[in-house]
Amino acid sequence: MDNVAAEVIAIIAAKAREGQKIEMTDRLADLGIDSFGAVEMIFDLEEKFDIQITYNSNDPKPEFETVGDVVNAIEKVVNGKA
Amino acid sequence: MAERVVVTAWGVVSSIGSTAASYWANLVRGVSGIADATLVPTDLLTNKIVAEVKDFDPPAHFDERQSAMLDRVAQFAVVAAREAIAQSGLSFEGGLSERTATIIGTGVGGQNTQDDNYKRLYRDNAKRLHPLTIPKLMVNAPASQVSMDRGLRGPCFAVASACASATHAIGLAFHMVRSGAATCAVTGGADACITFGTLKGWEAMRVMAPDTCRPFSRDRKGLVLGEGAAVVVLETEAHARARGAEILGEITGFGMSSDAYDLTTPDESGMVRAISGALADARLDPSDVQYVNAHGTGTAANDETETKAIKRAFGAHAGKLAISSNKSMVGHALGAAGGLELVATLMAMREKIVPPTINYLGPDPACDLDYVPNEARALDVRAAISNSFAFGGLNAVLAVKRW
């Protein structure tokens, strides 16, 4: 696992239920991250990597359903930036 | 003995009209007040659309000295109160001033003053702030300015419950007039929070629509921030009759509840308790009601939860209700919203026309009631409710009857 993925997972873990082991296939909702938890998580990711993520919590199909979705999206933005 | 509480006047400042008459005419026509922001620079905003009060000209209402004392939010409140009081014909003489309550709700108060002054301090490194900074931004400033402007010397205070502020304010005023604690009340709500700082704060919540406000519609993408004010004059039926006032409607019930659940996620059972509480207070059976003026913010969560709550509170009658959201046209004017919506509800009863929910694209399976899509509808409304559900889980619902 590269650095970006590890840092993203650490941010997700901080929002998830305590003591939860995080797998790439885990759904955010199953980790106890509700819609506002996801908004806070995205804020933390934007601050950490100094990036901007388009996200509207009203979208019926969330872009970020699983941990893997978030890791891939952030890696894409961070690598694109570099 | 409880007094009957009647409405004898209203005044409005909104994004679709800065008098009650123009507001109503545009509501019925389905005119949208939503457009690109002009009050703030938009280059650093993700969401650039808002519902601004256009062409608001302070010098048309205030001399220079008074204008400088009033934040935009207090200006809105005073202009709406002046319109309402002028329409009521009340002069507050002979001790009536002392028996008149002034209760004005606001979500956030003088945000323009706060934003402008903090910008001076933090960005421009100003060494001092204007001496009126604090008295202009305090949340009771709109209430205080209305009382000073019109010489109202009875109980006066602000109510702050975010998006339900005006409804809570009017509900408390209703209680005071009904109990005899006040003979008249000048009450409603105001907000003017289209500032760079506030918009960035809302943007961070990720609930703002990038296109427009489409309450209860499929493909709705969130809320649009608005601004404005609405003020009504309440009085006891006896007082209104004795002076030969024209009675525009009756407030018959008020329901309040707190979710005690989550800061931002709406809670169906909290909404149900407020709706059912208002109906019970008004001694209305659910089947007596024809119209619900919804909170209807246009967010995925509110509209779905409000739909469920209406179904639970009204049972089988929910399918027969006409339900509409003014926020589709005037955006979410926060502390003013409940006032703007109560005026619309009273006007709908009086004019026998229900304003539409515009920008409606088609049904969402989770929102399957009659939202009066896109076109106003002629309807004999004899009783109605107006819903307000605030962040913080604070719910307030007013029940009204045609006079």
User: Residue B186's beta-bridge partner residues?
Assistant: B102, B233
Domain boundaries, chain B: 5-242, 251-401
Question: What's the gap in Å between the CA of A56 and the closest CA on chain B?
Answer: 5
**pLDDT (tens digit per residue) in B132-143:** 999 999 999 999
Whole-number pLDDT of residue B84: 98
Percent share of chain B, pLDDT over 70: 100
Architecture of domain B5-242: 3-Layer(aba) Sandwich (3.40)
Give Cα separations from B143 to A56, B95, B107, B166, B205 (angstroms). Answer: 36, 20, 13, 12, 29
Question: What's the gap in Å between the CA of A38 and the closest CA on chain B?
Answer: 10
Whole-number pLDDT of residue A80: 81
- Mean pLDDT for B3-28 is 98
Domains of chain A as residue ranges with CATH: 3-81 (1.10.1200.10)
Interface membership of A43 toward B (CB under 8 Å): yes
**pLDDT (tens digit per residue) in B262-314:** 888 899 999 999 999 999 999 999 999 999 999 999 999 999 999 999 999 99
Interface membership of A61 toward B (CB under 8 Å): no
Angle at CA B50, nearest 5°, toward B48 and B54? 120
pTM over 0.90: yes
Mean pLDDT of chain B: 97
Q: Which residues of B are catalytic?
A: 163, 295, 332
Whole-number pLDDT of residue A61: 66
Most confident of A26-30, A55-59, B313-317: B313-317
pLDDT for B157 beyond 70: yes
Residues 6+ apart with CB under 8 A from B315: B286
- Mean pLDDT for B88-92 is 97
Contact A36 B301 (CB under 8 A): no
- Mean pLDDT for A30-57 is 92
Same fold, B5-242 and B251-401: yes
Angle subtended by helix axes B72-88 and B111-118, to nearest 10: 160
What does the alpha-carbon distance between residue A29 and residue A15 come to, in Å, rounded to a whole number? 11
Residue B188: count of CB within 10 angstroms of its CB: 37
Per DSSP, the three-state class of B6 is strand
pLDDT for B254 beyond 60: yes
**Higher-pLDDT residue of B1, B51:** B51
What does the alpha-carbon distance between residue B170 and residue B188 come to, in Å, rounded to a whole number? 6
Cα-flanking dihedrals φ and ψ of residue A59, to 5°? Answer: -65, 130
pLDDT for A82 beyond 90: no
Beta-carbon contacts below 8 Å between A and B = 38
What does the alpha-carbon distance between residue A17 and residue A28 come to, in Å, rounded to a whole number? 10
What Rg, from alpha-carbon coordinates, does chain A have?
12
- Of B75, B100, B224, which is closest to residue B152 (Cα–Cα)? B100
**Higher-pLDDT residue of A60, B195:** B195
Cα-flanking dihedrals φ and ψ of residue B117, to 5°? Answer: -75, -40
Count of alpha carbons within 13 Å of B294, Cβ hemisphere only?
Answer: 34
Structural element, H or E, at residue B349: helix B337-351
Residues 6+ apart with CB under 8 A from B269: B259, B309
Whole-number pLDDT of residue B289: 98
Across the interface, of B204, B263, B299, the residue whose CB is closest to A58 is B299
**pLDDT (tens digit per residue) in A6-33:** 999 999 999 998 888 899 999 999 999 9
Question: What's the gap in Å between the CA of A55 and the closest CA on chain B?
Answer: 6
Count of alpha carbons within 13 Å of B339, Cβ hemisphere only?
Answer: 43
A43, with CB counted inside 10 A (0-12, 13-18, 19+), is: middle
Binned at pLDDT 50, 70 and 90, residue A81 comes out as: low
Q: What is the dihedral of CA A24, A30, A31, A33, to 10 degrees?
A: 110
Across the interface, of B207, B262, B263, the residue whose CB is closest to A57 is B207
User: Residue B51's beta-bridge partner residues?
Assistant: B226
- Mean pLDDT for B235-260 is 98
DSSP state of B4: P
Residue pair B355/B16 in contact by the 8 Å Cβ criterion: no
Residues 6+ apart with CB under 8 A from B95: none
Whole-number pLDDT of residue B132: 94
Whole-number pLDDT of residue A11: 95
Contact B300 A60 (CB under 8 A): yes
Q: Which of A44, A45, A58 to mutate to test the interface with B (most CBs of B within 10 A)?
A: A58
The complex scores an ipTM of 0.84
**Hey, what CATH class is B251-401 in?**
alpha beta
User: Residue B185's beta-bridge partner residues?
Assistant: B101, B234
B189, with CB counted inside 10 A (0-12, 13-18, 19+), is: buried
pLDDT for B344 beyond 90: yes
What does the alpha-carbon distance between residue B56 and residue B75 come to, in Å, rounded to a whole number? 10
Residues 6+ apart with CB under 8 A from B85: B9, B11, B150, B186, B233
- Mean pLDDT for B58-84 is 97
pLDDT for B161 beyond 70: yes
**pLDDT (tens digit per residue) in B174-214:** 999 999 999 999 999 999 999 999 999 999 999 999 999 99
